[in-house]
Amino acid sequence: MTERSRLSEDLIKINETITLMAVKTEEALLKALHALKRQDMNLVREVKRGDAEIDDLQLQVEDLAAAALATQQPVASDLRVLVAAFKVAADFERAADHAVHMAKAVGRFSGEPRSHLIDRLVLEAETGVEMMKGTAEAFSARSVELAGRTAAMDDIIDREHKSLIIEVLTMMRERPEEAQRAAKLLTTSGHLERLGDHMTNACEDIVFMVDGTRVDLNR
């Protein structure tokens, strides 16, 4: 087997592993979302258990990319793919961590009536799921256009997060006794906001991977 064909096989394995990582991370956030909607603690436990598998997949990506860098002779375009693989895998791993934090929040909101503030969290999470799908597809398809469209969805999460902050601060001024609940809402929304940022960062790395340009997709 030539070095080029061996590198091609390594790149295929990396692509497959990142795709699997993306699927598992999306599943984790969906479970966390359904757990929040249904107050389902069984789903919360599933999200927590699944996080270790996502961590293992990230390590697999890192090992594959490091081995390819050390033993093959990648050209510039291959180097960009390998560097992007490191960074995109890390962003999915961190996004999975934020999904776990959201799942943990279900216990904090257990027994509370559904409110429009929870609905804002739901919209943030639903948008996060769509961003994960778009990021994974953009990486697999090497699509700059899809990466740009996916990153643009972060504006929805940011808008909901900022609106929630304003409403929660107003609630705290008017009803100081709600301070503990307000803190829980802000913390959970903050995790979802950062999840969106990680997907945006991954999309920026995908653009670099494809055409070698550095772009800011979070303006």
pLDDT tens digits along 187-218:
999 999 999 999 999 999 999 999 999 888 87
Tokens of 85: 């693989």
Residue 82 lies in a domain: yes
H or E segment to which residue 171 belongs:
helix 154-174
Residue 216 lies in a domain: no
Range in 49-53, 59-63, 110-114, 158-162 with the lowest mean pLDDT: 110-114
Taking the CA atoms of residue 85, residue 88, residue 90 and residue 91 in that order, the dihedral angle to the nearest 10 degrees is 180
Q: What pLDDT, on a 0 to 100 scale, did the predictor assign at position 113?
A: 62
Residue 136 lies in a domain: yes
Those residues whose C-beta lies under 8 Å from the C-beta of residue 84, and which sit 6 or more positions away, are 139, 205, 206, 208, 209
Asked if pLDDT for residue 180 goes beyond 90, the answer is no
Residue-number span of the structural domain to which 164 is assigned:
3-211
Confidence of residue 23 (pLDDT cuts 50, 70, 90): very high
pLDDT tens digits along 129-164:
999 999 999 999 999 999 999 999 999 999 999 999
Asked if pLDDT for residue 179 goes beyond 90, the answer is no
Residue 217 lies in a domain: no
Give the SS3 label for residue 40. Answer: coil
Tokens of 49: 């258990």
Residue 180 belongs to a domain with what CATH number?
1.20.58.220
CB distance 84 to 206 below 8 Å: yes
Confidence of residue 2 (pLDDT cuts 50, 70, 90): low
The one-letter amino acid code at 24 reads K
Rg (CA), the chain: 19
Distance between CA atoms of 134 and 177, rounded to whole angstroms? Answer: 41
Confidence of residue 108 (pLDDT cuts 50, 70, 90): confident
Mean confidence (pLDDT) of the chain: 90
Q: What pLDDT, on a 0 to 100 scale, did the predictor assign at position 3?
A: 57
Residue 142 lies in a domain: yes
Provide the domain count of the chain. Answer: 1
Task: Give the mean pLDDT of 173-197.
Answer: 90
Residue 7 lies in a domain: yes
Distance between CA atoms of 9 and 171, rounded to whole angstroms? Answer: 56
Tokens of 65: 């990319």
Q: Which residues of 59-77 are buried (b: 16+ CB within 10 A; e: fewer)?
A: ebbbebbeebbeebebeee
Q: What pLDDT, on a 0 to 100 scale, did the predictor assign at position 144?
A: 96
Counting DSSP H helices and E strands in the chain, the numbers are 7, 0
Residue 124 lies in a domain: yes
Tokens of 163: 């609106």
Residue 134 lies in a domain: yes
